[in-house]
């Protein structure tokens, strides 16, 4: 039973939205995949092979099922955020006492009123979030609530717990920076996993950082700072681990390169970088992800997947670059998994000692 | 009729069907389905509470006539329902694309 709001009607609406999203991922998506296999086979009989996302797009150009797949992906998200009746933005604003209680709890936070919001960031309302993550004062709360229905069939926080497990396998760390930390969903588990480490989270969104800091007020080894990941203003060689989850695909290519350069600058010699994002070599999944970027107002998702990331890392001065599939839940990366998911990948690299 | 409407406003919604009218129609169906779910949820809560307290006989509700504050409340609910169901017809979104 969802208890996001005092209003039972609003909670029931968001339960419906979550179920609709799950249905899209576990019922409709497998049908789309089946249709793809049929269309691919028919094309092969005519001598046409599928080698790229563009080839897949041609197969689906007149598919009614694909039109509904797209429509639901776009509009379930739109209803969740923007429905005038119970959408997250309207409903959270309607219960200001709850929002104030969550956001006004003083936490370890340093805001930078002089920070210039990057143009590429201000130009789009990411995830169809009206006002985007920097302009809506309740953005942290909206984003937190929205995240509940992003990863169907995945337990709450499971992805971030598994990310911490991945980090542990790379070593013990004492000085950790989490870039693009948002409302602290990955920063908090990192601080709890490494209780003797000093953990800093940076993000450009003040509303998200306020929620992150409020939730971290009882966690002694964590602090948050408003900063651009491309130019954090933090001391050189200060960290032995720099992470991010779901940051790179929100950046244009030159900003990805700038973020990798800043990651390297901040790491001590021998330090480790682990950025979690999306990679896929499969034309069908590339097609699905390029479309997702368009339908979810994330215009830099496709350029990131097309980018030669290993080369970009080497150019930024990293070594031992590994790009590994990441399972957000047990068995998620198994080829027999028929459900929609993000093609997660951990990009692990080391600054030369 | 296949729509050839010009894009009006800076935040024109994406479309996925051969006729944008279908996109907007599906929007109404989706919103209505959400409304029906919320209503059924509330009704189930109410019936459960009433039954446990023995306040009403459910069969009496079939012939009830709402008046006064209840009538006004139902009118307010109806206005919000209409806004919710029909807002997708505008083909706009609140966020920048």
Residue B74 clears pLDDT 90, i.e. is over it: no
Please tell me if residue B90 touches chain A, with a CB cutoff of 8 Å: no
Please name every residue paired with A223 in a beta bridge, in sequence order, or none if there are none: A200
Residue B61: per-residue pLDDT? 66
Measured distance CA(A195)–CA(A198) in Å, rounded: 8
Please tell me if residue B56 touches chain A, with a CB cutoff of 8 Å: no
Q: What residues of chain B lie within 8 A of the CB of A91, using their CB?
A: none
The complex scores an ipTM of 0.77
- State pTM to two decimals: 0.89
Measured distance CA(A93)–CA(A194) in Å, rounded: 36
Closest-CA residue in chain B for A68?
A: B16
Measured distance CA(A26)–CA(A289) in Å, rounded: 16
pLDDT in tens, B12-66: 789 999 998 899 999 989 999 999 999 989 998 998 899 889 988 767 666 778 8
Residue contact B84–A84, C-beta within 8 A = yes
Please tell me if residue B30 touches chain A, with a CB cutoff of 8 Å: yes
CA dihedral for B12, B14, B18, B22, sign (positive or negative): negative
Cα of B53 to nearest chain A Cα, Å:
20
**How many H helices and E strands in chain B?**
3, 0
Q: Which candidate from B38, B81, B95 shows the least CB-CB separation from A128?
A: B95
Name residues whose C-beta falls within 8 Å of residue B53's C-beta, 6 or more positions apart in sequence: none
Residue contact A16–B96, C-beta within 8 A = no
* B79 token code pair: 């206005």
Q: What residues of chain A lie within 8 A of the CB of B33, using their CB?
A: 16
Please tell me if residue B37 touches chain A, with a CB cutoff of 8 Å: yes
Interhelix angle A206-215/A96-103, nearest 10 degrees: 70
Please tell me if residue B16 touches chain A, with a CB cutoff of 8 Å: yes
Please tell me if residue A17 touches chain B, with a CB cutoff of 8 Å: yes
Q: What residues of chain B lie within 8 A of the CB of A132, using their CB?
A: 95-96
Please tell me if residue A82 touches chain B, with a CB cutoff of 8 Å: yes
The answer to whether A348 and A171 have CB atoms below 8 angstroms apart is: no
Which of A19, A74, A122, A136 is most worth mutating to test chain B (most B CB atoms within 10 A of its CB)? A74
Q: What residues of chain B lie within 8 A of the CB of A15, using their CB?
A: 37, 41
Residue B6: per-residue pLDDT? 56
Interhelix angle A206-215/A139-146, nearest 10 degrees: 70
* A234 token code pair: 């933090």
Q: Which candidate from A75, A125, A294 shows the least CB-CB separation from B30?
A: A75
Closest-CA residue in chain A for B45?
A: A8
Q: What residues of chain A lie within 8 A of the CB of B30, using their CB?
A: 20, 75-76, 79
Measured distance CA(A275)–CA(A200) in Å, rounded: 15
Residue contact A125–B97, C-beta within 8 A = yes
Residue B48: per-residue pLDDT? 87
| Local confidence pLDDT in tens for the 353 residues of chain A | 788 899 989 999 999 999 899 889 998 999 999 999 999 999 999 999 999 999 999 999 999 999 999 999 999 999 999 999 999 999 999 999 989 988 888 889 999 999 999 999 999 999 999 888 888 889 999 999 898 766 666 777 899 999 999 999 999 999 999 999 999 999 999 999 999 999 999 999 999 999 999 999 999 999 999 999 999 999 999 999 999 999 999 999 999 999 999 999 999 999 999 999 999 999 999 999 999 999 999 999 999 999 999 999 999 999 999 999 999 999 999 999 999 999 999 999 999 99
Residue contact A12–B93, C-beta within 8 A = no
Q: Which candidate from A85, A294, A295 shows the least CB-CB separation from B80?
A: A85
pLDDT range class, residue B1, cuts 50, 70, 90: very low
Residue B10 clears pLDDT 80, i.e. is over it: no
Closest-CA residue in chain A for B43?
A: A9
Please tell me if residue B31 touches chain A, with a CB cutoff of 8 Å: yes
Please name every residue paired with A267 in a beta bridge, in sequence order, or none if there are none: A239
CA A227 to chain centre: 18
């Amino acid at each position: 039973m969802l208890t996001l709001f005092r209003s039972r009607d609003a909670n029931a609406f968001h339960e419906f939205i979550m179920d609709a999203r799950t249905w899209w991922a576990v019922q409709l998506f497998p049908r789309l995949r089946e249709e793809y296999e049929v269309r691919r086979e028919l094309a092969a009989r005519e001598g046409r092979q599928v080698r790229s996302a563009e080839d897949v797009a041609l197969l689906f150009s007149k598919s009614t099922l694909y039109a509904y797949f797209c429509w639901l992906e776009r509009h379930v998200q739109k209803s969740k955020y923007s429905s005038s009746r119970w959408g997250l933005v309207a409903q959270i604003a309607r219960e200001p006492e709850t929002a104030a209680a969550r956001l006004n709890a003083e936490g370890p936070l340093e805001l930078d009123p002089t920070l210039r919001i990057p143009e590429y960031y201000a130009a789009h309302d990411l995830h169809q979030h009206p006002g985007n993550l920097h302009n809506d004062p309740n953005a942290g709360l909206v984003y937190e609530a929205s995240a509940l229905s992003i990863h169907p069939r995945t337990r709450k926080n499971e992805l971030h717990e598994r990310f911490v497990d991945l980090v542990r396998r790379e070593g013990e760390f004492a000085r950790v920076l989490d870039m693009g930390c948002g409302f602290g969903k990955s920063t908090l588990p990192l601080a709890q996993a490494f209780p003797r480490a000093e953990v800093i989270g940076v993000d450009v969104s003040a509303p998200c950082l306020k929620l992150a800091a409020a939730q971290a007020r009882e966690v002694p080894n964590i602090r948050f700072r408003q900063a651009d990941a491309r130019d954090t203003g933090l001391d050189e060689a200060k960290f032995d681990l720099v992470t991010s989850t779901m940051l790179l695909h929100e950046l244009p290519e030159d900003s990805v390169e700038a973020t990798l350069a800043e990651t390297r600058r901040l790491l001590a010699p021998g330090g480790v970088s682990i950025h979690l994002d999306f990679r896929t070599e499969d034309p069908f999944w590339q097609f699905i992800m390029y479309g997702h970027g368009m339908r979810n107002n994330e215009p830099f998702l496709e350029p990131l997947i097309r980018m030669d990331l290993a080369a970009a890392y080497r150019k930024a001065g990293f070594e031992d670059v590994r790009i590994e599939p990441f399972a957000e839940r047990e068995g998620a990366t198994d080829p027999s998994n028929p459900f929609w998911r993000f093609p997660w990948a951990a990009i692990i690299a080391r600054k030369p000692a | 009729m296949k729509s050839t409407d010009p894009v009006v406003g800076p935040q024109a919604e994406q479309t996925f069907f051969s006729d944008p009218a279908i996109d907007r129609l599906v929007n109404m169906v989706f919103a209505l389905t959400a409304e029906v779910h919320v209503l059924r949820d509330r009704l189930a809560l109410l019936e459960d509470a009433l039954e446990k307290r023995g306040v009403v006989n459910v069969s009496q509700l079939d012939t009830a006539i709402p008046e006064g504050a209840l009538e006004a409340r139902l009118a307010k609910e109806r206005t919000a329902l209409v806004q919710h169901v029909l807002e997708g017809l505008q083909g706009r979104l609140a966020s920048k694309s």
